[in-house]
Structure 1
Amino acid sequence: MYRLHPPAESLRSYIENYWFVSHVPGEDVHLRVDVFVDARADLIFNFEAPYRREVIGGGGSEHDRSNLDAQRLVPIRILQHGAVRIVGVRFHLGGLAPFTRASIAPWSGRTPAPELVFGDGIRELESDLRTTDFEASARMIDDFFLGRLRLDGAQATFERALSALVAGDGRVLVNELADVAASSPRQVERLFARGLGFPPKTVGRVLRFQCALRQLMTDPGVPLGEVAANAGYYDQAHFVRDFRVFSGGVPRGYRGHYPPEVPNDFAPNVVVFVQDVDPPERRDWSGPPDPRTRGGKHG
């Protein structure tokens, strides 16, 4: 069973939603999710079956505890089998920054234990979430993050620069971001390192990839060269190279697979969440689980 819950109003600029996955008693769940690069983070409270996290085209690791799957620059595959119970927090791009006391850079591409990022108090939250229902869990998560929310001048500068980069689909120079944020290029670089773990140029690559992916899936008749140009790539070869790095596949494999009524700021993932022994592939958007399609993103 999948359920989504919005965060408190004052958290919605930073947290997309809370997502819950639970199995029916006696049910044997088979889960596979291919997660494209989007530079977002998920906090995952995993209460039952361990899962395997594989870098597509690389190595893998087993996870039997909760973790923060921090923003990364490689596509990953999540494999989970058996009894599944997960409570997840899906952050917006850059949304993790106001809840941490230190730079996010050391955690980029990693899966640290939650207390290393949020402090020991999150273990108490995890313990409480084990025994509470859906609505109570959402209220507890709200309370935790409202208590940690820190907004200051540096955060405001970071948000202005990031908003400008997103609005430009990643095609904004650092000097231009600095002008928008009323700051210096050097300060903007520092704020991105602290708040996202990546420089603006790298975040821009991710945004251009997502822009191209959306066009491929919504308008499959557009030639690849035009898709590349529309997304701001210098040439088609550069586009194909970045696409492979961030998705694990090639552009032609993703034509025309964008589902209806999907949020515009999400890149789809290839998702399987069925009870069959040999389940068919399903394509879904890279958000938390969606009950309409029986698929979803598991960070």
Structure 2
Amino acid sequence: MYVLRSPAEALRPYIEHYWFVSQAPGEVVDLRVDVFVDARADLLFNFDAPYRREVIAGATVELAESNLDAQRLAPIRILQRGSVRIAGVRFHLGGLAPFARGPLAPFTDLTPAPATVLGPHALALEAALREDPDPDEAAALLDAFFLDRFAAPPAAFARALDTLTSTGGRASVADLAAAAGVSQRQVERLFARHLGIPPKTVGRIVRFQGALRSLMADPGCPLGELAAGAGYYDQAHFIRDFRLFSGGVPRGYRGYYPPEGPADFAPNVVAFIQDAPAGAVPH
């Protein structure tokens, strides 16, 4: 069973949703989640079977403990089978920053313990969630935790990030500096501290995600037109980034929305084997 819950209204600019996976009595869950690069973080409280985290075309590790799957520069695949119980938090782009207790750059592409990034109170939160509250009660616990630890990032970072996303990733670092009222070097520092990825790289990721959404809306769109609409120099650059950030190619790609997904759910990032049509292999 895959269940989504919205966070408290004050948290919604930073947290997309809470999500919970569990199995009915006697059910064996066979779960595969493909996560493309989107520069966002996921917090996972894992209370049962360990799972495999595969960097697509890279290393594989088995994780039994809860962790923060921090902002990623490589696509990953999560595989878990058996007795599964997870409580998760999906952050918006830049949404982890208000709750982190230090710079985020050291954690890029890593899976630190929640307390390492969020502070020791994360241990008490994990213990409360382990008691197996229903999704509404678990969402209330998560709301209380994040509301208590919220500290707004600097306005300059918010302005720079908003400029980058509102231009579809096309704004230069000079543009971001002008919008934020700081130097270009300070923009770089703000992104390292509050997002963990350089602004130029974030711009590429935003362009890729824009192309991904367009591909979802019109799978038959010519690739050259798709690339131009997303701000790519040419089709070759688009295909290169698509392969880098998804592990595949545009024409081999098939999208998926979870059954209870909200309207703004990042498209085509998760696939549950048990939800696929008979004979289909999700990408």
TM-score bracket for the superposition, by shorter chain length: over 0.9
Cα offset, 1:182, TM superposition: 1.8
Greater displacement, 165-174 / 218-227: 218-227
Q: SS at 1:87's partner residue? A: strand
What is the aligned partner in structure 2 of residue 162 from structure 1?
161
What is the aligned partner in structure 2 of residue 222 from structure 1?
221
**Relative to structure 1, is the Cα distance of residues 157 and 279 closer, same or farther in structure 2, using a 3 angstrom cutoff?**
farther
Structure-1 separation of matches of 2:49 and 2:279: 19
What is the aligned partner in structure 2 of residue 254 from structure 1?
253
What is the aligned partner in structure 1 of residue 144 from structure 2?
143
Structure-2 separation of matches of 1:31 and 1:169: 32
TM-score by length of 2: 0.93
Structure-2 separation of matches of 1:22 and 1:269: 19
Equivalenced residue count is 279
Structure-2 separation of matches of 1:262 and 1:129: 23
Q: Is the 8 A contact 1:98 1:149 kept in 2?
A: yes
Cα offset, 1:168, TM superposition: 0.5
Q: SS at 1:10's partner residue? A: helix
Q: Is the 8 A contact 2:34 2:76 kept in 1?
A: yes
Structure-2 separation of matches of 1:192 and 1:235: 27
Is 1:76 aligned to 2:76, yes or no?
yes
Structure-2 separation of matches of 1:51 and 1:216: 30
Structure 1 residues not aligned, in runs of 5+:
284-299
What is the aligned partner in structure 1 of residue 236 from structure 2?
237
> Alpha-carbon deviations, 1:80-118, whole Å to 9, x = none?
000110100110000000111210000010000111111
Q: Is the 8 A contact 1:211 1:231 kept in 2?
A: yes
What is the aligned partner in structure 2 of residue 110 from structure 1?
110
What is the aligned partner in structure 2 of residue 120 from structure 1?
120
| Structure 1 segment 1-299 matched on structure 2, within 5 A | 1-131=1-131, 132-151=133-152, 155-254=154-253, 257=255, 263-264=263-264, 266-269=266-269, 271-274=271-274, 280-282=280-282
Cα offset, 1:69, TM superposition: 0.4
Cα offset, 1:275, TM superposition: 8.3
Aligned residue identity for 2:18: Y
Cα offset, 1:281, TM superposition: 2.4
**Relative to structure 1, is the Cα distance of residues 201 and 275 closer, same or farther in structure 2, using a 3 angstrom cutoff?**
closer
Cα offset, 1:246, TM superposition: 0.3
Structure-2 separation of matches of 1:265 and 1:183: 32
Q: Is the 8 A contact 1:55 1:75 kept in 2?
A: yes
Structure 2 residues not aligned, in runs of 5+:
none
Structure-2 separation of matches of 1:54 and 1:115: 23
Aligned residue identity for 1:141: L
TM-score by length of 1: 0.88
Q: SS at 1:271's partner residue? A: coil
Structure-1 separation of matches of 2:27 and 2:267: 30
> Alpha-carbon deviations, 1:137-188, whole Å to 9, x = none?
111111111111012xx52211111011101110001111111112221111
Q: SS at 1:194's partner residue? A: helix
Structure-2 separation of matches of 1:191 and 1:215: 30
Q: SS at 1:32's partner residue? A: strand
Cα offset, 1:270, TM superposition: 5.3
Q: What's the Cα RMSD here?
A: 2.0
Q: SS at 1:245's partner residue? A: helix
Cα offset, 1:67, TM superposition: 0.2
